[in-house]
Amino acid sequence: MALYEIDEDKRKALADYLNDIRNRRGLGHSQLALKAGLDGAVLHKMLYGTVKKANPFHLQALAKALRIDYKVLYQIIGYLDSEDTTPEDKLTIVELEQEIPVYSRVFAGSNGTLEYGEIIEHITIPRLRNGTEVIGIKVDGDSMEHTIPNGATILVKKEVEVNDKEVGVFVHNNIPYVKRLRKDKNQMFLISDNNSYLPIIVNEGDEFFVIGKVVEVMWKL
């Protein structure tokens, strides 16, 4: 499993917040672990600020057990930007969520339009501001490992600009890609984080458009 490593100050902030809510709820360590369905060792790392990589599904389970909105936990450790969410009372579950589809793949149709594979599941995420559309896509391939593992689900903000060095979903000459965009003065490249793959050069005159920016990687243990 590949997740971004959490900065030490954010680990401590997560631990402080979880312990504060746990104490307000009157839950001991064992009680919370049982209520959230988490291994005691996993919970111990979160509560003591030693967890280096946090599984999003563990955070969701903790949030449900503590009766809080899990996107607050995502914000604390940097999985979500505060600009993407609406302020709310952090001690209650808010009705500001949306269910989005996770597609088996994305591809370019015969008429040049964007098409999607079958919907394999639905997941719940915080509702974003300004009506931003988010979709999930199941990754099939290892070209972005270890940033994005083969089989992971990526959350993609559609029709959002992808800046230099950011990861996005693109269509280049009718072929879809999940890659890191690199720009220099006169050229664009689609780069794989797996060094086994060569860069893809985007030439003038190529068919190229941006589907959206990858904002989160989700991976079940």
Q: What is the CATH number of domain 8-84?
A: 1.10.260.40
Token readout for 51 is 């967890």
Task: List residues bridging with 218 in a β-sheet.
Answer: 153
Q: Which residue has the tokens 């050069």?
A: 201
CB 148 within 8 A of CB 167: yes
Where do the domains of the chain lie?
A: 8-84, 97-218
Decide: helix, strand or coil at residue 8.
helix
Q: Which residue has the tokens 């979500």?
A: 80
**8-84 and 97-218, same CATH topology:** no
- For the question of whether the overall pTM of this predicted structure is more than 0.75, the answer is no
CB 153 within 8 A of CB 136: yes
pLDDT tens for residues 71-119?
A: 888 888 887 765 555 444 343 333 446 778 999 888 766 555 667 889 9
- 97-218: CATH topology is Umud Fragment, subunit A (2.10.109)
Decide: helix, strand or coil at residue 100.
strand
pLDDT along the chain (221 residues), means of 10: 72 90 85 90 91 86 86 82 49 53 78 77 72 86 90 89 94 91 91 94 91 84 46
